Amino acid sequence: MSDGPLQSKPAAGHPTGSTGAYAVEHFALREDLRRVSVPIDQFGSWRRQILSFVLCVLGPMLCASLYYGLIASNQYAAEFRFSVRSAAELGGEEDLVALLTRGRGAHDIGSLPYVVANYLRSRNVVRELDRNGALRTMFSNDGADWLSRFDRTESEDALWTYWQGMATINVDRVSGLVLVRVRAFTPEDALALAKDVVRATEAMIDSLATRARRDALYSAEEELERAGLRYSDALRALRDVQNQEGTIDPQRTIDAAATTLLGVLREKLALERQRDANLKVVSATAPQQQVLSNQIRALESQTTALTEALTNKREDVKSAARSIERFEEGELERRFSERLLEVAQAGYERARLESERQHVYLALFVEPKKPETAEYPRRLRSIAFVGTCAFGLWSVVMLTIAGVRDHRSES
């Protein structure tokens, strides 16, 4: 028989007289080993661990299994896909489906698909769909379970929050295609809700296009009015110049003056030649020479006057060059304003024609169909999600408790 827990045989070669000292040392070692904490002791007893695991992990999983397996109502999803396109993108030889599925850069698709997606997530679409209380009726179906259905007495904000959980809207950044999926508690309600969403989307796109066409037409009208006023001002300024200069066509006046000047110069030269020829037979003081000299001086005065009328640099003297300059400025403004008026008239006519036809379309290439099977709730996935979250929370709590106990034992 053994000597008990406080006795131990001495090791071989150990002196017999030191048996008491060895027993005391061995007892102290066993006491130290008892004080060392091991992982299993940090978590407490197995009974507490099992009880906490059942309450924190298995309990939520059991509740989730009961709810999703026996209580949760089926939800049916109706899906449709569309793209927003303009009439200019539809070529005469291109097929619509090929055009919609053709890959395009993100910078080419424009912002309309994202505008539509934001509209489908907004309160406006909820207000439009619930105009007659139809949306509340669908979501508060009596056949749905109490946790899933909507309380129709709630506010519009609550309905909008509920709508965000029942509708999924995605936009493809490459092609600009929009996918919309709506859920309801019956296949008929899901299909009716999808069709209502399509109608609301088409109405919104039409309103945007109508507003854009109206704004374009209004801008074209304003531009036409400004161009007309500028053209009228240019004509008025040109008429003022004509009245001040006393002529309609200054070029003709200048041509006539130049012709007169040349005739006077020719006549002057002829008289000078005649005067020089007479000096060979008569003296310079002869009466006929005096007459020729007087005629030559008169022609010189006329030449000077005609020359000053054509080219005079004095500001206070009217000249043909200054008249031509004023006429050219007025004529240039008239031609420019006339061209602007023609462009504005063409723009207005184009805007008017554009406003009479539709340019932005909701190209629905996947129409909503009546669902046959319920896609929601995804029961197994939901139960697994609840179990994973519960297990993670339980693990964190247990590790925290173990850390606190270990800290206390060390202190």
In sequence order, the β-bridge partners of residue 77 are 183
The better pLDDT of the pair 4, 47 is held by: 47
**Which letter does DSSP use for residue 74 in this model?**
P
* Nearest-angstrom CA–CA distance, 363 and 49: 60
Highest-pLDDT range among 154-158, 274-278, 292-296: 154-158
Q: pLDDT per residue over 317-363, tens digit each?
A: 455 556 666 676 777 787 888 888 888 888 878 777 766 665 677 88
Q: What is the pTM of this model?
A: 0.55
- The pair of structure tokens assigned to 209 is 């296009």
The better pLDDT of the pair 209, 37 is held by: 209
pLDDT higher than threshold 70 for residue 20: no
pLDDT higher than threshold 60 for residue 32: no
Stretch (H or E) spanning 84 = strand 76-86
Residue 97: its pLDDT value, please? 44
Judge whether 310 and 319 are in contact, CB under 8 Å: yes
Judge whether 175 and 71 are in contact, CB under 8 Å: no
Q: pLDDT per residue over 63-105, tens digit each?
A: 888 888 788 788 899 999 998 877 655 444 444 444 444 444 3
Average pLDDT of every residue of the chain: 75
Q: pLDDT per residue over 47-58, tens digit each?
A: 777 888 888 888
**Mean pLDDT, residues 290-298 taken together:** 76
**Which letter does DSSP use for residue 77 in this model?**
E
**Which letter does DSSP use for residue 87 in this model?**
G
Which residues are within 8 A (CB) of 72 and not within 5 positions of it... i.e. 6 or more apart? 145, 147, 148, 377, 379
CA distances from 188 to 75, 77, 129, 184 (A): 11, 10, 16, 8
- The pair of structure tokens assigned to 161 is 């929050």
Which residues are within 8 A (CB) of 217 and not within 5 positions of it... i.e. 6 or more apart? 348, 351, 352, 354, 355
DSSP string, 315-326: TTS--HHHHHHH
Q: Residue 84: phi, psi to the nearest 5? A: -100, 120
- The pair of structure tokens assigned to 370 is 């009546």
Residue 179: its pLDDT value, please? 94
* Nearest-angstrom CA–CA distance, 242 and 234: 12
pLDDT higher than threshold 90 for residue 169: yes
Q: pLDDT per residue over 203-257, tens digit each?
A: 888 888 777 777 777 888 888 888 888 888 888 887 777 676 665 556 566 666 6
Judge whether 321 and 329 are in contact, CB under 8 Å: no
Residue 309: its pLDDT value, please? 59
* Nearest-angstrom CA–CA distance, 133 and 34: 73
- pLDDT over 70 percentage in the chain: 71
Q: Is the peptide bond before 377 cis (omega within 30 degrees of 0)?
A: yes
Map 229-287 to HEC letters. Answer: HHHHHHHHHHHHHHHHHCCCCHHHHHHHHHHHHHHHHHHHHHHHHHHHHHCCCCCCCCH
End-to-end CA distance of the chain: 41
